[in-house]
Amino acid sequence: FQHAAALSPPWPPTAVYPAASPPPPSSPPPPPPPPFWSLSPRQALEELYASAGGADGKWRYATNWTTGGDVCRWWGVTCSKEVAASGGGEVIGLNLQGNRLEGTLPRSLASLSRLIAIDADGNEGLSGTLPPELRRLSASFASLSLDETAVSGTLPALLTSSLTLLQKIELEQTRISGTVPHHFKLPRLRQLDLRRTSISGTFPATAAASLFSLQFLDLDRSALSGTLPPELGEAARVGSQFKKKMSSFADVGLRRLEVEDTAISGTIPPSFKHLTQLVQLDLEQSSVSGTLPAAVFESTAQLERLQLDQSRVSGTLPPSLFETASSSFRKLEADATLLSGSLPDSLCAPPTLERIRSSRTRISGTLPPCLGNSSRLEELSVHSASLSGSLPASLSLLARLETCELTRYYTDAAGGYIRAKYDAPVSAAGLAGPSTKRYSLDSRFN
């Protein structure tokens, strides 16, 4: 048995395995995506399509965006007429207004080296912040419109970049917040719309002083405070000098200034006399106070509309307001102000006059008899003022008058108030009798 045991293999037997085969060579890692600034126009637009809901079928219009071909034939894409190296025109504009975009704007847009304008107004599902890479856009970029979107963050960095040709910035009713940068300097900017945003703080003097070409400034219902920047007037003066020397500044001059329902206060600066192209001044429901400077309104020959409702403006209506703008003025809106004095006869000077609203004020005296010459007058509202006297017979000549509110205007001889309503035009004889000093009426003419 000892011999047999010696011949027995060890137990358990040792397993013998074949030699392991060498591992297969590892696959090379995928190449990194190209940097965003080197993307072709097609790649950049494809990223936009994917990032802003196009690939999910959200867009209202997407003609040719999924079929390839020349990007210049894609809906909303505008190209230059020049032939690019890729065989198509260079992309210079994106108009995706109201196209149901959802998502964000990608940084790849910065690779569109000839882009001039982005218009994405009315896309409520467009959100996120603006890519900081947009500052890489070429110096020829001129227009950014994002009204009524959910875009958020602070005023984009591109406002402080080298985009010296930027002409239009529209951010109305977005979620943009923060302040206007002190180094905001855009000498070619014509339109700046920040209404209904959370932009706060003051409008920097250095920024206002650089806006030589500004034509439209809308700050309505924003969170801005401080005072009306006097530098806006000085910038307009400098801009008018450029206008005489350089054709590229041929259309300068602030035309619309709106600060309705803001905390902006102070008085109208004397430098506003340089706003000679002003068409509309809206101070409604603001904290702007003080008088209407005659010197300012001696130069506003283009003025059409002055909105002062529920502001703290006081003093009298300067005759120059209507004399200077005798060929253009249309609407005076001054309800619930501290205005006093009488309505000047010059109020009748503009044949274009359509509306007079000065109710709940301290304005006194009589209605100017010349109002009968204002053949385009549609609304006369002076109720709860301190006017007296007889109604001018000439009022019966106003064929276009639709609304005439003179409540608590006249009383009878006994001092009692009379309220009357009329559904058709009435004559002056029907409004004032020989023994009547004052009437109170609320009349609507059809």
Which among 37-41, 254-258, 379-383 has the top mean pLDDT? Answer: 254-258
Checking if the pLDDT of 349 tops 60, the result is yes
Confidence tier at 348 by pLDDT (50, 70, 90): very high
pLDDT at 50: 97
Higher pLDDT, 442 or 260: 260
Is residue 161 scored above 90 in pLDDT? no
Asked whether the beta carbons of 106 and 129 are under 8 A apart, the reply is: no
Mean pLDDT for the chain? Answer: 83
350-369 pLDDT, tens digit each:
999 999 999 989 998 888 98
Q: Report which of 441, 407, 410, 408 is spatially closest to residue 426, judged by C-alpha positions.
A: 441
Strand partners, 442: 405
Q: Which residue has the higher pLDDT, 346 or 1?
A: 346
Q: Which of 200, 41, 157 is nearest to 109 (CA)?
A: 41
pLDDT of residue 416: 40
How many Cα atoms are found within 13 Å in the side-chain-facing hemisphere of 47?
A: 19
State the pLDDT at residue 19. Answer: 63
In this structure, the number of other CB atoms found within 10 A of the CB of residue 293 comes to 17
pLDDT of residue 187 exceeding 60, the answer is yes
Q: Alpha-carbon distance 112 to 305, whole Å? A: 41
Tens of pLDDT, residues 375-387: 999 999 887 777 7
pTM: 0.83
* pLDDT at residue 232 in the model: 96
- In the predicted structure, residue 151 carries a pLDDT above the cut 80: yes
* 221 — pLDDT class (breaks 50, 70, 90): very high
Any idea what the Cα angle at residue 46 is, between residues 44 and 52, rounded to 5°? 100
- C-alpha torsion 391→396→399→401, nearest 10: 20
Residue 330, pLDDT above cutoff 50: yes
Q: Which residues contact 50 (CB under 8 A, 6 or more apart)?
A: none
Whole-number pLDDT of residue 14 = 57
Query: Which pLDDT does position 193 carry in this prediction?
Result: 97
Confidence label for 439 from pLDDT (cuts 50, 70 and 90): very low
- Bin 261: left if φ > 0, else alpha if -120 < ψ < 50, else beta: left
CB atoms within 10 A of CB 82: 9
CA 386/CA 381 separation, integer angstroms: 13
